[in-house]
Structures are given as structure tokens and as C-alpha cells.
Chains A and B, each alone.
Chain A
């Protein structure tokens, strides 16, 4: 059953919903990347919570006008309107009062959500409201989704994705260096507004599938995950799109198998597992890579210090140093150098003397900046430069090993 869902064999409707969710996930990941780079991730949480009153009001208006109130397009329009009001409130609170943005976000988020819950409770008492299934907008649900709903979601996701790609250069310029962007004629407030508008569009489009409480995850976790894998905006965009798309796809497919399971939490769990894998195992920025890098660096430092101590006939007190030297076959357990160790120690000491000389001479100032206690000078200077250093150092002064 799960396999047939993942391979899109559950019938036309379920397939369309799954593909729609995937497109939504790609668009959300790509849009969220700019939100993340601009360090405005929390605003999206406020936007999504601020959609709820709009859902309720739109339902009531549609019922009052004689409709059935469940038209997805109508509910989306309502949620967009109230999200926009919420966004304006955050802007006004930040600009006109002394409240910081985080406080404004918290206030708008909770107040709008509260109003929305009150409206939803009221709708439950209406005769038309009992079967409306508006609770599905909280945590997402693909159950009972119509063909037209899936088309709206897929088209909405595609339009937002196209817009974000068109604006990728100005948006990343503003995210990296807003002052420079403004000086080169980009309208920074307007670009921020465009970005927020696109985030709002994603929220509204994703409301039905992911639900408003967890849509923020679909916007933020993909770029955060992608950041582990790439050092370029373009790369982060690709990976974030992939992560979001995969989560949308798997989440919707699972939901088709188990309709009682809300789709939002399933998508979040898929996202989280990808995030956790990246956090641990990403090659350059992952936790494991960092630990390994640190251990290898520590090892090199200890061996170098140990070799210098051996070369100068000093005792080695640190156990780790001795153990590493022994394991590398450079010293015996009692701290006496092996033949191999003696040669390496003499070489390390000569290297260190050359560095000392290079760092004391103005003509080697540039090369001296490469000194870190570990790099061998032969990798930095040419052989004639090293000859010059040896000439300056003078004849060997009897290195005792």
C-alpha cells in the first residue's frame, strides 16, 4: 500500500495531490531560502498563524451569500487577506512603536490565532459548519481533496516558484548586503515586501495540505538543511528545493495511505529526518566532519610538538603526545625517539628554524603569514628561497637528538 502510494499507483486523484504537494514543497524550499538568508524566518510563522481569521471569515461570508463555504479558492483569498493584515500590523508595530520585531511577531501571531480559533468554534455552532472540515487547515489534510483543489495548489506553487527564480539575484543581493543593494538602486523595502508576499502566497497555497501551524517548517527546514551541503546561494536553492519537494511528496503519499494521519506532521517528520542526517553527516559543515577535522588537527599539533621536543632533547610530559608518537612509530614507550623519529624530529626542528628566520625578515613577510606551526615551509617557499634562509641561519649548531 505504502509502496503503491510512493510510486503513484493509488489512482488519479491521489497522484495529483502527491505531485501538487511535491511542487508546493519545492516552491516552499526555494522561497524559504531567501527568508532564511535574510534572517526573517520567524515572520513566516506570524504570517501563517494570521491566516486563520481569514479562513473563518471567508467561510462565514460564503455561507451568508448562499454558497457551501468550502470553496478552496474562497478560503485562500480570505486567508491571504488576513495574513496581509497581520503583516501590516507587524510592520506598523515595529516602525511606529519601540517594540522589537520579535515582540511584534509574538503579539500578532497569538492574537490572530486566538481570533481564528474563536471564529472556528463559532462556525462549529452553525448548521453548515459541522461538516466544513475547517480543522483540516490547522494541521493539513489531503482527505476529501477535490481534483480542482489539487490543480490550484500545483499551479499556485509553480507560479510562486517562477517568481522567486526571476527575483533570485536582487533577493540574494538584499539578503547579503542591503546597504550595497540600496546604493546600487534596488528598492530594499519593496523587495522585502515582494519576498513576504511570496512567502504569504506559499502559506496560503500550502494551507490545505500542510496546515497553518506547520507550514513554517516547509519554508525553513529545507534551506537550513541545504546550508549544510552548499557554500553558494545557487546550491542552497537547489538542495532546498529538493528537500522540500521530497518531503511534500513522501508526506502526501503517506497521507494517502493513512487518511486519518494529518499531512502536516508527516511532512515535518520527513523534513526533520533529512535535517538530522545533514546535521550529522554533511561533508564540510556537519557535526561528524567537524569532530574528525578537530581530532586530525589535534593529532598533527601533538606530533609536531612532540617531534620538536625530541629534537631538542626535552622530556615529553603529555600522555596523548607520547601515545600518538608511539602509534606513529616515532618514539618508544619510554619517550626515546626511534630512528625514524630522530630523522623526522631533526627535519621538524630545521623547518621551525627556517620559519623563525623567515618571520624575522621583511623580505619574507608575505610567506610568514602562512606560518601556523604545522605547515612545512617547503610547501610555501621555493627551493632557492629556502637556500637563502639556510644561508642566513648559518651552519648547523649541532642538533642533539
Chain B
């Protein structure tokens, strides 16, 4: 199916500009059981942007990301990456799942985890060579973890675990980086280190999308916002979409108006 023929959920056709987007999600619906977690969501992430996906707990932020990646199978909808179906664009995507999604007592060392980011280019029977290890070390250096390469992963703090996951994504050498709550439960130094890496990626022309939960840092860290509460509430630049009115729509009564006024722009 060519991208031009792809119909969006509201019946309009995808324009050529949207087909060039780093990530274009159309009519995505995901359901665990009978109640949709994400319903008919369209999302367009321009190449070279840095987007925060925000919304209340259980709004479907992580689910949307996983469905777009094909990690979970959606009930309906499609996702395209740089105009190609996700399955054909894997080499251009890097993913940082939630830290809590894995067992940290797994018998592996920090360097081995980062090397997992190179498995795709290595193939089934390719040999791990010194060059691969050097590349993995370089990625660890970018997140300030080079001294921990030989540590067992169970000995890391939460922030260090998150940095290792980011290093693994860097090893994938992608154009689109998707991160699920990269700042959840990390220390201040790690948060700074991660945002520095992400902003450096954007400076290189890469596209960054992160599920984010801290409204107070949205305007500092990101240039675009995608507000979701099962359905799409707003999408656009921080100035357009990160407004008290839109946040109220997304969060409903769960966010005090005073808090909204402090965090959002245009208050």
C-alpha cells in the first residue's frame, strides 16, 4: 500500500508532507480486552523534532508507542516511519522501553546489554568483533557509564539502568528515537545526562519522541507536544498545544487549575 492511499481515521487522505514525517500514526486503536486503551489516534511527528507524549496515568501513552512500534498488535490502525511501514524501517528506529519492564537480575553485564543494540546489524551468525565492542563502549561513554561496562546489571542504580538502556538505543544508530518514560525514577544528574544526549541527537537531525510525565519540564526539554487521553487531545508545538485549556481537557479534574497555570504556557 503506498502512503498516498492511506486513509486517516477521519476519512482525509494523507498528504505527501505527512508521508515524509518521521512517524505517522493513523487510526490506531489498541485494546486489552473490551475497553480500548488507545482509540483511533492519529499522530504526526515531523522529522528533526523533539516531541513529548503527555497525558494522565492510564491514558495510553506507552501503549500508543508500543503499538506504533509493532511491539503490541493494534486492533486497527497503521504506523509509518519515514514513509515506510514500520516493519521495513526497523533499522531507522531505536527504542528505550520502561526500565521496570525487564528483570535486572538477568545474568548479563552492562556492555552485553549495549551490544544487544547491535544484534540486528550482526545478524544470526555474525561474529562479535572488537569493532562492535568499541562502538558499544563509545555509546556508554556518551551516557557517562564507561566505567561500569563490566558490572553486572543488578548492581546498578535506577538512573544508571536508564543510562544503559539509552546507550543500547544509541548503539542502534537510528534516525528516530522512541523513549518510554526515560526520566521516571532517575536522579537529577541522570536526568541532566539523558536530556543532554537527547538534545545532541536532535542537533544531529535525529527525531526524538518520549513519553513524559513531568509537566514542569515539558517546555524546557521539548519543542512539540502530543496530548493524549485514550484519544488525541492536542498535537503541535509547545506554544500551540501545551496550553492550560488543552491540559484541562486531557487531565480533566485530575490536575488543579493553579498547577496548570504554573506549568503551561500562555497562562
The reply on B4 being an interface residue by CB < 8 A is: no
> Using a CB–CB distance below 8 Å, which chain B residues touch chain A?
66, 69-71, 87, 90, 93, 95, 97, 101-103, 106-109, 112-113, 116-117, 119-120, 122, 124-125, 152, 168, 172, 178, 189
Q: In the complex, A177 Cα to B102 Cα: how many Å?
A: 6
Interface contact A232-B108, CB-CB below 8 Å:
yes
> What's the least CB distance linking B7 to chain A, in Å?
26
Query: In the assembled complex, which residues on chain B have CB atoms less than 8 Å from the CB atom of A39?
Result: 103
Nearest opposing residue in chain A for B174, CB measure: A184
A235 at interface (Cβ–Cβ under 8 A)? yes
Bound complex: CA A37 to CA B105 (Å): 10
Please pick, from A173, A176, A177, A185, the residue contacting B90 in the complex, using a CB distance under 8 A.
A185
A166 at the interface (CB under 8 A from B): yes
Which secondary structure dominates where chain A touches chain B? helix
Name A's B-contacting residues (CB within 8 A). Answer: 37, 39, 166-167, 169-170, 172-173, 175-177, 179-180, 182-185, 227, 230-233, 235-236, 365-366
Closest B residue to A227 by beta carbon equals: B107
Q: Are A167 and B120 in contact (CB under 8 A)?
A: no
Other than the known A39-B103, A172-B108, what 4 A-B pairs have Cβ atoms closer than 8 Å?
Answer: A173-B119, A182-B69, A184-B172, A236-B107
Bound-state CA distance A35–B61 (Å) is 32
Report whether over half of chain B's contact residues are helix, strand or loop; otherwise say mixed.
mixed
> In the docked arrangement, what's the CA distance between A15 and B70, Å?
52
Could you list 20 A-B pairs, sorted by A, with CB under 8 Å?
A37-B107, A170-B119, A173-B116, A173-B119, A176-B103, A176-B108, A177-B102, A179-B66, A179-B97, A180-B95, A180-B168, A182-B69, A182-B70, A183-B71, A183-B95, A184-B95, A231-B108, A231-B152, A232-B107, A365-B189
B97–A185 CB distance below 8 A: no
> Which A-B residue pairs are the 5 nearest by beta carbons?
A183-B95, A185-B90, A231-B152, A182-B71, A179-B97
Q: How far is the CB of B143 from chain A (nearest CB, A)?
A: 15
A332 to B118 alpha-carbon distance, docked (Å): 61
Question: What's the Cα separation between A166 and B103 when bound, in Å?
Answer: 24
**Nearest CB in chain B: distance from A388 CB, A:** 21
List residues of chain A with CB within 8 A of the CB of B101.
Answer: 177, 179
Tell me which residues across on chain B come within 8 A of A175, comparing CB atoms: 106
